[in-house]
Amino acid sequence: MLSINTTPARIGIDIIPSNLDITERTADFDLDIEQPSVQIDFEHIKVNIDQYQCFAEIGYKNSADLTKEYANNGKQAALQGIKKIVGEGRQMKESRNIGRTIGMIVKQNWFESNKVELTLEALPKSRPDINFTGGDVNIEMNWGNVETIATPNEPIINFAPAKVEVYLEQKSSVDIEYVGNNMDMMI
């Protein structure tokens, strides 16, 4: 009798899975900034005040105007004096009583010379002449600028492919053994 024992072969399989590692990197940004600015140019205001007429009314005049005024006043005084003398001469010529006429003329001249005239005025009567020049303002704006420069960074990818290792863990075998002493043979 024969005894047959078989041992099947065993195959071992080691599987290493694949590995995918992706590292995302943010983009690099550069900002080029030009700051805004304001430039203001201005011209100071010039104020011209002419008070000559105001001062002239209270007696402060330049020499040319004083000379002209005194010449006019002198001329007027001379004309009034001539007129007065001519008038007194006519009075005496036409008078019947010369003594009495001379007395009246003396009395009239005395009253005129001692006559006080009071005039109240607020001086100066004129307003000063005021002129403004300049005062221009020039404003220049520079709004500035922002320039963005973006540099994208590619992701870092590490990939390990899967591995399958197949190996023979156990060999197959067949054991045939003769068991017993009887042997039948037939041919």
Residue 158 lies in a domain: no
Mean residue pLDDT of the chain comes to 86
Residue 166 lies in a domain: no
Other Cβ atoms closer than 10 A to 2: 8
Look up the domain containing 30 and give its range.
26-61+95-153
In degrees rounded to 5, what are phi and psi of residue 98? Answer: -65, -35
The per-residue pLDDT for 102 is 83
Residue 160 lies in a domain: no
pTM: 0.39
Specify whether the backbone of 98 is left (phi greater than 0), alpha (psi in -120 to 50) or beta.
Answer: alpha
The per-residue pLDDT for 185 is 63
Q: Is the pLDDT of residue 1 over 70?
A: no
Residue 115 lies in a domain: yes
Please give the biggest Cα pair distance in the chain: 221
Which residues touch 9 (CB under 8 Å, ≥6 apart)? 168, 170, 171, 172
Residue 175 lies in a domain: no
Residue in 12, 9, 17 with CA at minimum distance from that of residue 161: 17
Residue 47 lies in a domain: yes
Residue 74 lies in a domain: no
Residue 3 lies in a domain: no
Q: Is the pLDDT of residue 11 over 80?
A: yes
The per-residue pLDDT for 114 is 76
The per-residue pLDDT for 184 is 61
Say how many CA atoms lie within 13 Å of 33 toward its Cβ.
6
d(CA 59, CA 69): 11
Q: Is the pLDDT of residue 187 over 60?
A: no
Task: Give the least confident one: 117-126, 133-142, 162-171.
Answer: 117-126
How many domains does one find in the chain? 1
